[in-house]
Each structure stands twice: as structure tokens, then as C-alpha cells.
Amino acid sequence: AGAPIFGQIQHFDLTNVLVVVVRYFGGTKLGVGGLISTYKQTAKLALQSCKIAIKYHQKTFEIIYPYESTNWVMRMIQQNQLKIQTQEFMEKCRLVFLVRQKESKKVLSQFKSQKEILINEL
């Protein structure tokens, strides 16, 4: 039963998922081919009816910067599609954001290129 179910998981290109198929035996023997088909079809129907949530590994960063750099910072936030967690605007501004792990090196170097911006991973 594992291979047909796993085949459907691969077909839907899913990771970190659990599919459980429970078969009630009602007296009719399906045979090997029938069981394979039944498990495959059941997994397919279950996955088609689910709402699939896409999640990414993320890192959290904090930046501290002068108010005058706000336009540049916000442009970087928008261009990199970063998710702002918190922000404070004062003489020295503070912003905490999430970035996809695979994009974190690029984003880190962009912010480090500005000498007036301090960036820390939380």
C-alpha cells in the first residue's frame, strides 16, 4: 500500500505530509491489483480534496537604521517580498522581518551594503 500512496504524494509534489488510508474489509477480496488501485485512488481523492498549505523555512532579522533611510529600507522590503513582524519609527528606526531561508544571504548582503544600517539575525 505504501508505494501507490507515496506515488500520489510525489504526483502532488508534497513534502512533510502524512496520508493514511484505512480499508474496511467487507468480505470482498480485491486481489493485489485491486488493492493497489484502491489505495492509489483513495490517496488521490484525499489529496485533491485537501487545502494544501505552502510553508517555507524562514529566518528572522532585525534592522536598526536612521529615519532618513526609511524609503530605501521599505523599497528593499517590497522588492524582496519580506514579511514585516514589527516596526518602530523614531530617530533610530527598528524593523523586524521574516525572510525565506534560501533568500537570506542575498537580503543580508543588501542591508549590509548600507553602512548606516545595523542588521542582526534573531
The rounded distance, in Å, linking the Cα atoms of 31 and 68 is 73
pLDDT for 1 beyond 80: no
Of 46, 41, 55, 38, nearest in space to 20 by CA: 46
- Using a pLDDT cut of 90, give the percent of the chain over it: 67
Q: Which domains does the chain have, with CATH numbers?
A: 2-49 (no CATH), 58-121 (3.30.70.240)
Instruction: Encode pLDDT of 63-86 as tens digits.
Output: 999 999 999 999 999 999 999 999
Of 35, 26, 45, 46, nearest in space to 4 by CA: 35
